[in-house]
Amino acid sequence: MSKVPITLTVNNREYSFDVEPDLRLVDLLREKLGLMGTKEGCGEGECGACTVIMDGNTVHSCMVLAAQSDGSEVLTIEGLGSADNLHPLQEAFIEHGAVQCGFCTPGMILSAKNLLDKNPSPTEEEIKEGISGNICRCTGYSKIIAAIKAVANKGGAS
């Protein structure tokens, strides 16, 4: 298997790798970059726990081959805010009790960010559709929706 040279930007930093053709983006992020915020929940594109934003769109990183991310810009949850400087969505999720076990949270927040980037004032239906690719087993979604609504109403998600 010949390795594939790739260069990509992750959280605003450029990286170059030689990757196996069968390496997935989720594995590149977690194992080669140590960015463990992106989770693998199913490996089949059915749960959204592996969601990252690639070239401005959310993707299931378990379905993207690392080799396909050559030349791309990827944002993971680690790129969104830090403990000292939380992103409004992170703050709202905490404030509204939208985090229980936290496993879905990174993917959920990135889907919420992508939704608000494209549609700053979503209706409740649009919020539900925006996070429809992210499964949560704990919260029952209502606090998540409330948190997203709160950020939308404050007019800030970037």
CB of residue 81 vs another protein: minimum separation in angstroms?
21
Residues between 98 and 117 that touch another protein (CB under 8 A): 111, 114-115
Contact between 48 and another protein per CB under 8 A: yes
2 binds another protein (CB under 8 A): yes
Q: Which is nearer to another protein, 86 or 103 (CB)?
A: 103
Q: Is residue 57 a contact residue for another protein (CB under 8 A)?
A: yes
The answer to the question of residue 20 lying near another protein (CB under 8 A) is yes
CB of 155 to another protein, least distance (A): 22
Helix (H) or strand (E) holding 19: strand 13-19
Q: Verify binding: residue 1, another protein, rule CB under 8 A.
A: yes
Are the C-beta atoms of residues 108 and 44 closer than 8 Å to each other?
Answer: no
142-154 helix and 105-118 helix, angle to the nearest 10 degrees: 40
Tell me the HSE value of 17 on the side-chain side, using a 13 A CA sphere.
23
Helix/strand/coil percentages in the chain, nearest 5: 35, 20, 45
Residues within window 73-92 making contact with another protein, judged by CB under 8 A: none
Residue type, 65: L
Residue 139 binds another protein (CB under 8 A)? no
Q: How far apart are the first and last CA of the chain?
A: 41
> Amino acid letter at 113?
K
Applying CB under 8 A, the residues found at the interface with another protein are 1-2, 4, 20-22, 24, 44-48, 51, 57-60, 62-65, 67-68, 70, 111, 114-115, 129-130, 132-135
